Amino acid sequence: MLAAASKIRTISGVASTTSRAMPFFLSTFSAPTTAALSVPSLCPTRQNPSTHPRRPLAFFAAAAPLGVLSPSLRRSMASLATSTAAAAAAEVTHLSQRDAAEIDEQLMGPLGFSVDQLMELAGLSVAAAVAEVYKLSEHTRVLIICGPGNNGGDGLVAARHLYHFGYKPFVCYPKRTSRPLYSGLVTQLESLDIPFVPVEDLFHDLAGQFDIVIDAMFGFSFHGTPRPPFDDLIQMLVSLSVTDDSAKRPPIVSVDIPSGWHVEEGDVNGGGIKPDMLVSLTAPKLCAKKFTGPHHFLGGRFVPPPISTKYGLELPPYPGTSMCVRIGKAPSVDISSLRENYISPELLENQVMSDPFDQFRRWFDEAVTAGLREPNAMALTTVNKAGKPSSRMVLLKGVDRHGFVWYTNYGSQKAHDLSENSNAALLFYWNEMNRQVRVEGLVQKVSEEESEKYFHSRPRGSQLGAIVSKQSTVISGRDVLQHVYKELEEKYSDGSFIPKPDYWGGYRLTPNLFEFWQGQQSRLHDRLQYSQREVGASTAWQIERLAP
Ligand SMILES: NC(=O)C1=CN([C@@H]2O[C@H](COP(=O)(O)OP(=O)(O)OC[C@H]3O[C@@H](n4cnc5c(N)ncnc54)[C@H](O)[C@@H]3O)[C@@H](O)[C@H]2O)[C@@H](O)CC1
Ligand SMILES: [K+]
């Protein structure tokens, strides 16, 4: 048993502040606001796991002022990170009970951690993992059953974070200790008006009262058989998992160890809790090998190299700024069942700007402020003279009342299509905000002068890249590009002027149609279309609502 009481307590902040630079210039409009947001991300990014994450997705903090929830960001980004992690985590180290306790002692001894620091990070990981799997829109009421030791402390911390994420936590904490760490955690929960539920109240309609049950009763210091009242509480969770239809009962999430399981052998007699989700902390314990539920996560992103080296820890890397990472395969998904129930502010005719460029700019600014990754990414669809369409993503590099500008290789397929048919369509999809903008119009090349100016504003590496790539032509391998790139790098190593190749430049789409789409509940989406109409000698924009 670990002497938690003797350890020093200092709560460490875990928020990180990040600012994003404006991704492109807008020629007429002023530069959009730079988002400077701080929240430890729940949402894994597409970045390679690194201790220096490049692009945090600080969506929660940013979305609130816009009144837009992010039901899909966590899921979509999570699934990407999930597959990366699943591949990376083929072999994960599992700790014995003794090693787990020893690591705990080293962290809080020579490695300088305090118990409340580790508990804060552990509890945050649990809350982050729960939020990643169980969406707030479907799971609101969370019961956290806390035991007498640090596992229970993790539960108290998780309750607080879940409250701040928007969940409604209830805590059952039957064996309180008077130690300041724990009484402080209780006071924090009381200040949030989080109800403490007596054990007796739980034996009546547990499934009807809660949407998630978190088992934070015992962790790696558990021995023997559970004593009251935890014996009954564990039995209650056992009955919950075996007797009820899984679709109708709250999922059970175990913190570090399914309570009552042998820390190394697992559910020895087969009559223990069968959690739907396990959040292993620091590293999975041996019993986690016996976990068969659909969601296994790792949390506790604080393991320093001396521990990893000493114990030869093989652990999946944490994606981006995430506090948790999935271990093993994600459960398979029925694609036809994937659907979001969008919750958005209404998009009404009398609220939108009369000019679609202004409306675009308003939404674009909001996408930037919300910290979306590459809000200037747009799908460009071109059509050749035979009527064959093709689409690809490009980056918007400027927009004003003359149109939407992007740059490319004039030998590419899109350029070929555009030379035959100047009609094209752009599509912006800001998934996290349930928004889409369609823009259609005619395309022409920007002036050489404009292309020159933009070309020389790019980093030198991108300038060389534009010269190297004869876009859309078949090449024998990647080395072809690397070889030419290297040659050019040497040629221009003195920092001299890199001339823009003739075959590289910009296009401008001048819109004749815009459509602003805002996803709404029950598929009753808002669609406002702006089309051009003749008014005397000039044209004006007419706004019409389209059926979703
Ligand atoms: N690196 C780490 O080691 C970290 C550990 N953390 C958490 O700390 C846990 C370990 O905490 P502790 O060592 O405090 O131990 P536990 O929380 O596993 O349990 C210890 C408590 O349970 C009681 N207990 C043990 N067996 C019992 C039984 N049969 N019936 C009734 N009561 C019993 C003990 O008297 C003690 O009060 C981990 O599993 C994890 O959840 C995290 O807070 C932070 C990081
Ligand atoms: K537990």
Q: Please spell the DSSP secondary structure of 101-119, one letter per residue.
A: HHHHHHHTTTT---HHHHH
Reading the block at residue 357, the tokens are: 């460029």
CA–centroid distance, 136 to ligand 1, in Å, is 29
Pocket of ligand 1 (CB under 6 A): 2, 4, 100, 103-104, 107, 118-119, 122, 147-154, 218-227, 230, 255-257, 281-282, 300
Considering only CA atoms, which residue is closest to atom 33 of ligand 1? 222
Considering only CA atoms, which residue is closest to atom 45 of ligand 1? 118
Considering only CA atoms, which residue is closest to atom 3 of ligand 1? 104
Q: Residue 121, class by beta-carbon neighbours within 10 Å (0-12 exposed, 13-18 middle, 19+ buried)?
A: buried
356-456+500-545 homologous superfamily: Electron Transport, Fmn-binding Protein; Chain A (2.30.110.10)
Q: Which ligand does the CA of 277 lie closest to?
A: 2
| φ and ψ of 243, to 5 deg | -95, -25
Considering only CA atoms, which residue is closest to atom 24 of ligand 1? 222
Query: ipTM > 0.85?
Result: yes
pLDDT at 250: 95
Considering only CA atoms, which residue is closest to atom 42 of ligand 1? 119
pLDDT at 441: 98
CA–centroid distance, 150 to ligand 1, in Å, is 5
**What contacts 413, CB < 8 A, 6 or more positions away?**
382, 390, 472
CA–CA separation, 291 and 261 (whole Å): 10
Active-site residues, by number, are: 523
Mutate-to-test residue for ligand 1 from 6, 95, 104, highest number of ligand atoms within 8 A of CB: 104
Mutate-to-test residue for ligand 1 from 11, 103, 215, 222, highest number of ligand atoms within 8 A of CB: 222
Q: Which ligand does the CA of 150 lie closest to?
A: 1
Q: Residue 136, class by beta-carbon neighbours within 10 Å (0-12 exposed, 13-18 middle, 19+ buried)?
A: middle
C-alpha separations of 479 from 62, 397, 444, 468, 485 in Å: 42, 29, 34, 12, 10
End-to-end CA distance of the chain: 61
Segments of the chain with pLDDT less than 70: 1-90, 243-244, 338
Residue tagged 């609101």 (tokens): 140
CA–centroid distance, 153 to ligand 1, in Å, is 9
CA–centroid distance, 157 to ligand 2, in Å, is 14
Nearest to 73 by CA among 46, 38, 49: 46
User: 10 Å Cβ neighbour count for 433?
Assistant: 27
pLDDT at 506: 97
Q: Which ligand does the CA of 230 lie closest to?
A: 1
Considering only CA atoms, which residue is closest to atom 41 of ligand 1? 151
Reading the block at residue 62, the tokens are: 């940013």
CA–centroid distance, 469 to ligand 2, in Å, is 55
| φ and ψ of 469, to 5 deg | -85, 115
Q: Which ligand does the CA of 174 lie closest to?
A: 1
Nearest to 125 by CA among 40, 45, 47, 13: 40
- Atom number of ligand 1 nearest to Cα 123: 43
Q: What strands lie across the sheet with 168-172, from one edge to the other?
A: 168-172, 141-146, 212-216, 252-255, 277-281, 295-299, 324-326
CA–centroid distance, 178 to ligand 1, in Å, is 16
Cross-strand bridge partners of residue 36: 19
Mutate-to-test residue for ligand 1 from 150, 182, 285, 323, highest number of ligand atoms within 8 A of CB: 150
Yes or no: say if 452 and 500 are a contact pair by the CB < 8 Å rule. yes
Considering only CA atoms, which residue is closest to atom 11 of ligand 1? 150
Q: What is the CATH number of domain 93-315?
A: 3.40.50.10260
Considering only CA atoms, which residue is closest to atom 4 of ligand 1? 104
3-state secondary structure 275-315: CCEEEEECCCEHHHHHCCCCEEEEECCCCCHHHHHHCCCCC
- Atom number of ligand 1 nearest to Cα 218: 18
Give residue 387's region: left, alpha or beta (phi > 0; psi -120 to 50): left
CA–CA separation, 362 and 309 (whole Å): 51
Tens of pLDDT, residues 175-193: 999 999 999 999 999 999 9
CA–CA separation, 362 and 428 (whole Å): 14
CA–centroid distance, 258 to ligand 2, in Å, is 5
Nearest to 141 by CA among 42, 203, 213, 191: 213
Nearest to 504 by CA among 378, 379, 406: 406
- State the pTM of this model: 0.64
- Atom number of ligand 1 nearest to Cα 152: 17
pLDDT at 65: 31
CA–centroid distance, 428 to ligand 2, in Å, is 44
Q: Residue 114, class by beta-carbon neighbours within 10 Å (0-12 exposed, 13-18 middle, 19+ buried)?
A: middle
Per domain, the residue ranges of the chain are 93-315, 356-456+500-545
CA–CA separation, 254 and 295 (whole Å): 10
pLDDT at 213: 98
Yes or no: say if 211 and 34 are a contact pair by the CB < 8 Å rule. no
Q: Which ligand does the CA of 106 lie closest to?
A: 1
